Amino acid sequence: MQLQIRNLSKTYSNGVVALDKVSLNIPSGMFGLLGPNGAGKSTLMRTLATLQECDSGSVFFGELDVLDDKDEIRRLLGYLPQDFGLYPKVTAYELLDHFAVLKGLSNRTRRREVVDGLLQQTNLFDVRHQRLGGFSGGMRQRFGIAQALLGDPQLIIVDEPTAGLDPEERVRFHNLLSDIGDDKTVLLSTHIVSDVADLCANMAIINKGHVLLSGPTQSLIDAVRDKIWARFVDKKDLASFQQRHAVISSRLLSGRTLIHVYSDSDPGEGFEEAIGELEDVYFATIAGRHRAAAEL
């Protein structure tokens, strides 16, 4: 089912505009919501998860009104928030079994089958009797996905799931998300560009409460293929290049400063055409250089 968001707005009591008429069409499969910290991603996630009220706008999941039919949408929803607290002295099996009871799985035999299956799916079955306080960050996140999958949800929302994970756990978590994203609508909110590049066929970029760009991930990448130019510069010359060119990013590579410039034509000065990637789409969009949205 498709998730349709129309003109969703939220302003906090301190005057911060978290969402400003956000509109998105989110199809089934993995959808990436990319943006810097403070962009409004978590506010949007909490609103979609029925945990926070908006000021105006509408959200429909298929025919269901997400903002009005909260009890019904919660039956179809799995949610992994950015900050997921666990009881440290309880085992993984005990807590997941408890969550399963809350989800309405009252039959003990069926509940054991579901809990065991989810622990197997998230590669936690061998540590199911270990207390959660001894879990690593990656294990805690995988447990969070296990609880989010209880009840076979059709809409799954995960907020910054790989932040703080080591590379090995990130790969494991990516594989897990990929496995569950085929026949469900999975909304992945993150500030990590590679998470979206690796997982999501469709995506949007949000900043300061506004959707800046949305569309099929590969189409958005293709749109900047011939617009990204790169060269190494001395660090002391960086400010000068930023004044003369639309520098969208700079980073150290083998101790040297590599800059990427957004330009429709060769900017000269020793620049070479680079292969545009999603990171370039992101930086160019956040910098206000790239607006050619490929709408879903």
Q: Which helix (H) or strand (E) holds 58?
A: strand 56-61
**Residue-level pLDDT at 293:** 37
Q: Where are the domains of the chain?
A: 3-213, 226-274
**Residue-level pLDDT at 296:** 33
The tens-digit pLDDT sequence of the chain (296 residues) is 899 999 999 999 999 999 999 999 999 999 999 999 889 999 999 999 999 999 999 999 999 999 999 999 999 999 998 777 788 999 999 999 999 999 889 999 999 999 999 999 999 999 999 999 999 988 998 999 999 999 999 999 998 888 778 888 888 888 888 888 777 999 999 988 999 999 999 999 999 999 999 999 999 999 998 999 999 999 999 999 999 999 999 999 888 999 999 999 999 999 999 999 999 999 999 988 776 433 33
pTM attached to this predicted model: 0.89
CB 39 within 8 A of CB 209: yes
Is the torsion defined by CA of 85, 91, 95, 96 positive or negative? Answer: positive
**Residue-level pLDDT at 291:** 60
Alpha-carbon distance of 284 to 258, in angstroms, equals 16
294: helix, strand or coil: coil
What CATH topology corresponds to 3-213? Rossmann fold (3.40.50)
H-only helix segments in the chain = 41-48, 70-75, 92-102, 108-121, 137-148, 167-180, 193-199, 217-222, 238-244, 278-286
